[in-house]
Amino acid sequence: MAHPFSQLAPSLDDIAQQGLYRSRRIIESPQGINLEIDGKNIVNFCSNDYLGLANHPDVLNAFKTGADRYGVGSGSAHLICGHSAAHHALEEELAAFTGRDRALLFSTGYMANIGVISALLGRGDAVFEDRLNHASLLDGGLLSGARFKRYAHADAADLSANLEKAPGNKLVVTDGVFSMDGDFAPLNELATAAKKQGAWLMVDDAHGLGVIGEYGGGIVEHYGLSQDDVPVLMGTLGKGFGTFGAFVAGSEVLIETLIQKARTYVYTTALPAAVAEATRASLKIVIAESWRRDKLKKLSERFRLGAEQLGLQVMASSSAIQPILIGDSQRAVDISNALLDAGFLVSAIRPPTVPQGSARLRVTFSALHEEQHVDRLLDALAKIIAGCK
At 325, phi and psi to the nearest 5? -75, 125
Q: Give Cβ neighbours of residue 197 (< 8 Å, ≥ 6 apart).
A: 160, 163, 164, 166, 170
160 is in an annotated binding site: no
At 110, phi and psi to the nearest 5? -60, -45
Question: Catalytic annotation on 366?
Answer: no
Which residues does residue 235 pair with via DSSP β-bridges, in sequence order?
Answer: 247
Question: Catalytic annotation on 239?
Answer: yes
207 is in an annotated binding site: yes
State the maximum Cα–Cα separation within the chain, in Å, rounded to a whole number.
64
110 is in an annotated binding site: yes
How far from the centroid of its chain's Cα atoms is residue 263's Cα? 21
22 is in an annotated binding site: yes
**Active-site annotation holder among 179, 336, 358, 366:** 179
Strands 200-204 and 102-106: unpaired
DSSP class per residue in 275-306? HHHHHHHHHHHHHH-THHHHHHHHHHHHHHHH
Integer CA distances (angstroms), 244 to 162, 171, 236, 238, in order: 36, 27, 7, 4
Question: Catalytic annotation on 56?
Answer: no
Among residues 285, 247, 258, the alpha carbon closest in space to that of 87 is found at 247
**Active-site annotation holder among 83, 87, 207, 222:** 207
Among residues 233, 281, 225, the alpha carbon closest in space to that of 106 is found at 233
At 271, phi and psi to the nearest 5? -65, 155
Q: What is the CA angle 60-63-65, rounded to 5?
A: 110
Which residue spans within the chain are E strands per DSSP?
34-37, 40-44, 102-106, 126-130, 147-151, 170-175, 200-204, 232-236, 246-250, 321-327, 344-345, 347-349, 359-364
**Active-site annotation holder among 239, 295, 369, 373:** 239
CB 261 within 8 A of CB 119: yes
Measure the CA–CA gap between 208 and 177, rounded to whole angstroms.
6
Q: Give Cβ neighbours of residue 341 (< 8 Å, ≥ 6 apart).
A: none
134 is in an annotated binding site: yes
Query: What element of type H or E holds 142?
Result: helix 135-143
Which residues does residue 174 pair with via DSSP β-bridges, in sequence order?
Answer: 203
Annotated binding site for substrate: 22, 134, 353
Annotated binding site for pyridoxal 5'-phosphate: 109-110, 179, 207, 236
Annotated binding site: 22, 109-110, 134, 179, 207, 236, 353
User: Residues with catalytic annotation?
Assistant: 179, 207, 239
